[in-house]
């Protein structure tokens, strides 16, 4: 058994025993109550699933196994000359709850290189798409096409013991993560660079090699990719891409089906597609205003015109956060340290000053602050990647780390098929009438 799998087996077996005892002793304890506004309101805040890899606090933001993003930047292994954490290290941390050593991360990098072979039929499928097919359409289809390789599906059909579900899921997760940079880079190069593909450089780490295959050279871009792939990886379990992956996985669909489900959720403009919408909105604003360096007042007027047209301001607001997203702040830190005088980055910073008070003034937006998607596009544009329709694929490659490590945990814990109860509006009205009668009786 490989060292990571062995660690996972030990840790997950211990947690399974702990959960069993907890449920036996305190299974009837209430941890939440559901209000009618939550039933109609997208289940905001309802505590109804377990997710070990990360936890989100409305004010502090995301913590991966208890560590904030700045802490991870200090603690996770880096390349010899790099300042940003290696995403391999975060995967290790999320999977087994320990900060890995440099050697452990090197082992994981090598594993993913060894497992990165993409089946030929996936490339053929991608080549059959029109070049203007949205990159997320291509990405989702490519993931599903690789389901033919699923270890879980094969072993299930052969008759796998329930206690080994996690083992087959681990194999699928590792193989899938290893292949994603190759697939994403293939989509990018065929869609925007005439199909001139770039062979992997197996001397590089997972994120560095991805940057190389995208065709954007330079150490700064590689550094940014490592940071990007780290900070987008997980955002607890309730967000749409994580929850969709979890839901599909709960039916014992394998990791390929589950992750494709998550990516289809990520492709929505209220979720991961917001990163493309932000830069599209900024480009449109600059075109409309006829300048690359708008004044604050010009931005304020443009924001108000967007809202007056009944549209949302992409990159602002959040279902859980009530402060600027630490992932936004981290990208701002990176841009300040590495980028000098980029018009688009400057516009993002001006937006950060002017948009929150406007959204606050609407009186209904619960979080007027920028989220992760408000910043990433401007940095990518700075490095020459202005094809914004591709941005959500980058997010998806990173998100695999969180949702697939969490899927391993779900299978190891033996979590059951997810199946909440739905009701009709008539049922709710009847229920409330009965409650009112009982109160007055
Ligand atoms: N611009 C304009 N209006 C906004 C807004 C924004 N950025 N954010 C929220 N609102 C509006 C909502 O549309 C809603 O209006 P109605 O009552 O008229 O329907 C009202 O304010 C209350 O919404 P909320 O409770 O504050 O926010 P939700 O929890 O319902 O939604 C969203 C959270 C992120 C979907 C929302 O803030 C939004 O649409 N933001 C813009 C899109 C975006 O950036 N999405 C990415 C989020 C982060 C992420 O998942 N990244 O992948």
Band (441; pLDDT cuts 50, 70, 90): confident
Residue bearing the CA closest to ligand 1, atom 20: 365
Tens-place pLDDT, residues 188-207: 999 999 999 999 999 999 99
Mutate to test the pocket of ligand 1, among 265, 312, 324, 357 (most ligand atoms within 8 A of CB): 312
pTM: 0.97
Q: pLDDT at position 260, please?
A: 98
Q: What percent of the chain has pLDDT over 90?
A: 98
Band (81; pLDDT cuts 50, 70, 90): confident
Tens-place pLDDT, residues 144-199: 999 999 999 999 999 999 999 999 999 999 999 999 999 999 999 999 999 999 99
Domains for the chain: give ranges and CATH numbers. 53-274+386-441 (1.10.580.10), 275-385 (1.10.230.10)
On the 0-12 / 13-18 / 19+ scale of CB atoms within 10 A, 55 is middle
Tens-place pLDDT, residues 96-108: 999 999 999 999 9
- Beta carbons within 10 angstroms of residue 131's beta carbon: 11
Q: Over range 350-366, report the average pLDDT.
A: 98
At residue 245, does pLDDT exceed 90? yes
At residue 388, does pLDDT exceed 90? yes
Q: pLDDT at position 393, please?
A: 98
What's the 3-state SS for the chain?
A: CCHHHHHHHHHHHHHHHHHHHHHHHHCCCCCCCCCHHHHHCCCCCCCCCCCCCEEEECCCEEEECCECHHHHHHHCCCCCCCCCCCHHHHHHHHHHCCCCCHHHHHHHHHHHHHCCCCCHHHHHHHHCCCCCCCHHHHHHHHHHHHHHHCHHHHHHHHCCCHHHHHHHHHHHHHHHHHHHHHHHHHHHHHHHCCCCCCCCCCCCCHHHHHHHHHCCCCHHHHHHHHHHHHHCCCCCCCCHHHHHHHHHHCCCCCHHHHHHHHHHHHCCCCCCCHHHHHHHHHHHHHHHHCCCCCCHHHHHHHHHHHHHCCCCCCCECCCCCCCCCHHHHHHHHHHHHHCCCCHHHHHHHHHHHHHHHHHHHHCCCCCCCECCHHHHHHHHHHCCCCCHHHHHHHHHHHHHHHHHHHHHHHHHHCCCCCCCCCCCHHHHHHHHHHHHHHHHC
Residue 403 to residue 259: CA distance in whole angstroms: 8
Q: pLDDT at position 294, please?
A: 98
Q: Over range 398-418, report the average pLDDT.
A: 98
Tens-place pLDDT, residues 255-297: 999 999 999 999 999 999 999 999 999 999 999 999 999 999 9
Q: Comparing 336 with 131, which gets the higher pLDDT? A: 336
User: Which member of 212, 246, 318, 375 is catalytic?
Assistant: 318
Band (92; pLDDT cuts 50, 70, 90): very high
220 belongs to the catalytic site: no
At residue 429, does pLDDT exceed 90? yes
Atom of ligand 1 nearest to the CA of 316: 7
Q: How far, in Å, from the CA of 172 to the mean position of ligand 1? A: 34
Q: pLDDT at position 15, please?
A: 98
Q: How far, in Å, from the CA of 396 to the mean position of ligand 1? A: 21
318 belongs to the catalytic site: yes
Mutate to test the pocket of ligand 1, among 317, 375, 393 (most ligand atoms within 8 A of CB): 317
343 belongs to the catalytic site: no
Q: Over range 412-426, report the average pLDDT.
A: 97
- Beta carbons within 10 angstroms of residue 31's beta carbon: 7
Q: What angle do CA 115, 120, 124 make, to 5 degrees?
A: 135
When the pLDDT of each residue in the chain is averaged and rounded to a whole number, the result is 97
Q: Over range 353-375, report the average pLDDT.
A: 98
Q: pLDDT at position 131, please?
A: 87
Q: pLDDT at position 167, please?
A: 98
User: Which member of 271, 325, 341, 375 is catalytic?
Assistant: 271
Tens-place pLDDT, residues 1-10: 999 999 999 9
């Amino acid at each position: 058994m490989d060292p990571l799998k062995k660690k996972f087996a030990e840790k997950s077996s211990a947690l399974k025993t702990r959960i069993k005892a907890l449920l036996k002793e305190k299974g009837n304890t209430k941890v939440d109550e559901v209000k009618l506004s939550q039933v109609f309101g997208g289940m905001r805040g309802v505590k109804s699933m377990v997710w070990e890899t990360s936890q989100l606090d409305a004010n502090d933001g995301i913590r991966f196994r208890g560590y904030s993003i700045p802490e991870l930047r200090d603690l996770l292994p880096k390349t010899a000359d790099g300042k940003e954490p290696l995403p391999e290290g975060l995967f290790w941390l999320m999977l087994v709850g320990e900060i890995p050593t440099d050697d452990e991360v090197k082992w994981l990098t090598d594993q993913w290189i060894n497992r990165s072979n993409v089946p030929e039929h996936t490339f053929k499928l991608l080549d059959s798409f029109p070049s203007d097919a949205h990159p997320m359409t291509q990405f989702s289809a490519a993931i599903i096409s690789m389901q033919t390789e699923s270890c879980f599906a094969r072993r299930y059909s052969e008759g796998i013991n329930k206690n080994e579900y996690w083992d087959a899921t681990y194999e699928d997760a590792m193989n899938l993560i290893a292949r994603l940079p190759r697939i994403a880079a293939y989509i990018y190069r065929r869609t925007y660079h005439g199909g001139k593909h770039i062979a992997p450089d197996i001397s590089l780490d997972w994120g560095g090699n991805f940057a190389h295959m995208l065709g954007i050279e330079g150490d700064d871009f590689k550094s940014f990719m490592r940071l990007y792939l780290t900070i987008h990886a997980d955002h607890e379990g309730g967000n749409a891409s994580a929850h969709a992956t979890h839901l599909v996985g709960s039916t014992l669909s394998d990791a390929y089906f589950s992750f494709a489900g998550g990516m289809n959720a990520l492709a929505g403009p209220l979720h991961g597609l917001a990163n493309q919408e932000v830069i599209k909105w900024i480009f449109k604003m600059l075109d409309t205003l006829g300048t690359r360096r708008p004044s604050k007042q010009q931005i304020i007027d443009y924001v108000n015109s967007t809202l007056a047209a009944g549209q949302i301001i992409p990159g602002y607001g959040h279902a859980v956060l009530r402060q600027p997203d630490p992932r936004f702040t981290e990208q701002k830190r990176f841009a300040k340290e590495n980028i000098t005088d980029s018009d688009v980055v400057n516009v993002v910073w001006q937006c950060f000053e002017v948009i929150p008070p406007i959204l606050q003034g609407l009186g209904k937006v619960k979080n007027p602050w920028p989220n992760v998607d408000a910043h990433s596009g401007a940095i990518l544009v700075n490095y020459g990647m202005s094809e914004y329709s591709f941005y959500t694929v980058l997010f998806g490659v990173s998100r695999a780390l969180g949702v697939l490590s969490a899927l391993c945990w779900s299978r190891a814990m033996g979590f059951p098929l997810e199946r909440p109860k739905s009701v009709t509006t008539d049922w709710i009205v009847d229920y409330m009438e009965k409650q009112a009668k009982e109160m007055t009786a």
